[in-house]
A and B are shown apart, each in its own frame.
Chain A
Amino acid sequence: MRRIFLKLRRRRSMERDIEAELAFHREMSALHINSVPMGNTTVVREQARDLWRFSLVENFWRDVVYAVRSLRRSPALVVTAMISLGLGIGIDTGIFSMAVEFLLSEPSVTGASSIVYVRLAGNSHSSKEALDFVRASGLFQDVAGENEEAYINWNDGADTRQISAVLLTRNYFAALGVPVALGRGILPQDSNDVAVLGDHFWRTRLRGDPTVVGRAIRLDGRAYTVVGVLPKTFRSLIGFGYSPDVFVPTYLDDTILAIYARLKPGMTIGQARAGIVAVAQRLDKEVSKTTPQPFRYAEGVQVSAVGGMDRIRTETEMQTVGLFFVMLLVVVGLVLAIACVNVASLLLARGSARRQELAIRLSLGAGRARLFQQLLIEAALLSLLGAACGLLLRQALAATVEQLQLPLPIPIRFHLTLDWRITLYATLLATFTTLACGLLPAWRSVRQSIAPSLRREGRMRLQRALVVAQLALSLVVLTAGFLFLRNLWRSNAISPGFDIRHTIYADVNLPPQAYKDVARKRAFVAEALRRLTALPGIQSAAAARVVPFNGGTRFAGGLKLLDTGKTVNTFYYWNAVSPDYFRVMGIAFLSGQTFQTGGDAATRPVIVNRPFAQRYLADGEPLGRTFRYGGDDTAYRVVGIVDATKNLSIGEDPQPQFYEDLARIDNTRTRLEFIVGSATPPATQLQAVRAALRRIEPNAGLEVATLYSSIGLAFLPSQVGAALLGGLGVLGLMLATIGLYGVMVYSVSRRTREIGVRLALGADRRDIAFMVLAGAARLILIGSAVGLLCAFFLVKPLAIFLVPGLRPSDPLSFLAVALLLAITGLAAAWGPARRAAAVDPMTSLRYE
């Protein structure tokens, strides 16, 4: 401390003081005969300077200036470093931004860490009574509910469109503290006819009208007053970029709600869980007094956080997403390492060119540490430039991703803002690249300047080792990319078990109030099927409660077989469809037939799929068997057995499923889905199908698309994986090829004399080219061997992201990737080989 103070105070006068003092000394010794020898006055000044200055900082600054000056003289190096490091750091921070957005972003609520998501009886959503009971218990500071996956029909005056809505309890905005950009949130004392708009809906559908607050919009045939608009960066509670169009109060009593609660201050999630179990037990007691209950609220209670690390800890699906991002970051880290090796090779070559300069500086008394520091500073400057380019690239990538319209039925929008986490990450990356690019060349240069005799053979060996490492790394990255490409081909080739090429999917959302009655819904279905099949070019049409991949209803429970009297525990998908469903979807009957009209009301017909029959009905002939389920007294008779279909994802194994007749169930749902089989390409029939359905119910929300495009969600993970990892693989290969090319060019230019001698002694030019190619081939071979060995172990954990049946250790992948690397590598060596063959013996012998 005192030293710094002293130094600061003396800073100005130091030089003058030393001069004066030394002058006095000289004068005195001149006066005396018995004088003390003078010594070296320059050394005194140098040493004094070193003592009294902040030499560390000042030297550092001088080195920075020096490095800038010397880098300005080699623009090729700077540009190469900026491109390689910029690409690496840019893509790395881009993926990191996505990871932050997906995994760590907090929903737009006040105090997100005190909000929890409560599941009763293991259900994602609970009844309004249950929610009210929890709220009344006083366990939490506040309790709100939302149904986030609702659709609502919006009439803009010309047409009715289905938009995504969140139905919420009216205390939602107040309880969670959701911010609004315009107007206000919904208040507990509001009527049911108020709405808050999402930013994107407001901007795109209402042209960002600033006077929208107070105006009315028509939703589900009713007039709603707009009270507010959400901010642009609004993040919903479920996250993953889900950005609904409109928020309205729930108005139907049977709407199920996801329960969100604010913890009282100091309450932990564990305490909340214990508390809510007790509340649920009281609720069970209360409910069972009046009605028999098929499930218990207190069983399977889950309490989880809504954001940050807590959410990752408490929700397993987040962990899978997290693993995917970790994998991506590892792969992109490898690509960055490849880029670093390129820059390191360039710095090595530069170091050998500057050997003389460094040797002179050493002999003039520069310390080794100083030289080392200075070389490292050059690498740091290059890394900083690279990081700056990388951040620019990240901004461009983020803007692209934010604009991206994903081919999904739900609105997904990301907000990839550049925050401190991203900046910190970029800084860490720049530090890493500084060390990765600079450490080895700097150490090398300093050592060489001390022991110049070691230089020749050694340096090339180091550069070769670097290229081998680069090739090995790129092989690992390529293998991962190739695996995901194969995964894409494989999942495209997998049949979902139904016809997706000749079918149209229509999603109809009936206005709930006009269609409360089951009979009206049935009438609508009958009329729709009649009109659709009457269209020219349409072969058949069917209705379903849910079409696979657009959601699924899974049940678990006891199945009581009436013939043997046994009860089997089952787990199955459930659906209700119209009789023609199997024909339109191309699902084959193994035995029996589809639903027929008539029959007795006491037994209802069901159709089961093959896994269901094999797993649960195997103790006899499945066809014609009867069973009971779900707690009521209806008997169900198996009238047909069909092939299995996939339900949620393309990679899954077929699960047991059974179908009921849509016309016979008590359908409470006002959302109906239709499947239309077309003889002509389905895309050409979309308009006709839309018009036919629109004529029956003008107020219905309608989405019509080919079935292929509407199940896009199922293909998305494999597409995203293939695009990202395939792209990274290509980038890695490109960077490694550039590295190999550089080393080959360098080695040929160093061996010019040797090649000249060989030619002069009568070597064939083809032999020379072959010699160079063989050198490259050796590097590629070693690199491939090392890379294959690493890849074999490193890609094994990727199995969790791949469709079943595709093994990461499949030799075909390794073979293909190694071949690709060999071809690209030899192609890169071709140029230098030709240059070597074209060497003129005379010029090369005069060289040096």
Chain B
Amino acid sequence: MAKSGSPMLLQGTLDLLILHALQRCPLHGYSIAQTIHLLSGEALKVEEGSLYPALYRLELDGAIAAQWGVSENNRKAKYYEITKRGRKLLAAQQETWNRLSIGVQRVLARQP
């Protein structure tokens, strides 16, 4: 996962980030990683060792669909697109994440 210096991604949050990144338009694997990297303000780095297995799993689950296309530099690349099922999953995961992060923040904001 992430090297020292960048925070560890919680199990399951990568799926959420990928789905979020794909919300607007289909992307290939590299640009998904880039998008997450940029959107996080360069705080999060997703390496391919965790990105691709997550993509394949999401594809098998039917949350995203894959299709070969041509990249901006005229290369053959595999584009991933979010499906209806994926959008539902995203909404659900977002909800879960919100509750989780609020909970964690509340805990950390107070002294025990």
Contact = CB atoms under 8 A, between A and B. Distances in A.
Q: Does B associate with A? A: yes
Interface of A: 2-3, 6-7, 17-18, 20-22, 24-25, 27-29, 31-32, 34, 36-41, 43-44, 47-48, 51-52
Contact of B45 (A3, A20, A37): A37
Nearest 9 A/B pairs, CB to CB: A39-B49, A39-B47, A47-B53, A28-B30, A40-B49, A44-B52, A37-B47, A25-B30, A39-B48
A20 B48 contact: no
20 contacts: A2-B62, A7-B60, A21-B77, A22-B52, A24-B76, A24-B77, A25-B29, A25-B52, A27-B75, A31-B73, A32-B34, A36-B47, A39-B49, A41-B48, A43-B49, A44-B53, A47-B52, A47-B53, A47-B56, A48-B52
Nearest to A28: B30
Contact of A52 (B28, B50, B60, B62): B60
Contacts of A41: 48-49
Nearest to A44: B52
Contacts of B3: 37
B33 to A, nearest CB: 5
A18 B49 CA distance: 12
B57 A51 contact: yes
B45 A21 contact: no
A24 B71 contact: yes
Contacts of A40: 49
B78 interface: yes
In the complex, which of the residues A3, A27, A44, A51 has the most CB atoms of chain B within 10 Å of its own CB atom?
A: A44
Contacts of B88: none
Given A20-B76, A29-B30, A38 B56 contact: no
B17 interface: no
B84 interface: no
B48 A24 contact: no
A39 B6 CA distance: 14
Given A21-B77, A40-B49, A48-B56, 8 more contacts: A7-B60, A24-B28, A24-B29, A24-B30, A36-B45, A39-B48, A41-B48, A48-B52
A18 B62 contact: no
Interface residues of B, number: 26
B37 interface: yes
A25 B57 contact: no
A366 B68 CA distance: 34
B46 interface: yes
Interface in B23-61: 28-30, 33-34, 37, 45-50, 52-53, 56-57, 59-60
Contacts of B30: 24-25, 28-29, 36
Contacts of A22: 48, 52
A7 B56 CA distance: 11
Nearest to A7: B60
A104 B24 CA distance: 70
A25 B48 contact: yes
Contact of B53 (A6, A36, A51): A51
Contacts of B49: 39-41, 43-44
A31 B30 CA distance: 11
Contacts of A17: 78
B55 to A, nearest CB: 9
Most chain B CB within a 10 A radius of its CB, from A24, A34, A40: A24
Contact of B52 (A2, A6, A21, A37): A21
Nearest to B50: A39
A509 B28 CA distance: 100
A20 B53 CA distance: 15
Contacts of A28: 30, 71
Contacts of B77: 21, 24
B22 to A, nearest CB: 16
Nearest to A50: B53
A51 B61 CA distance: 11
A10 to B, nearest CB: 9
B52 A18 contact: yes
A17 B78 CA distance: 9
B33 A36 contact: yes
Contacts of A25: 29-30, 48, 52
B48 A51 contact: no
Contacts of B52: 18, 21-22, 25, 44, 47-48
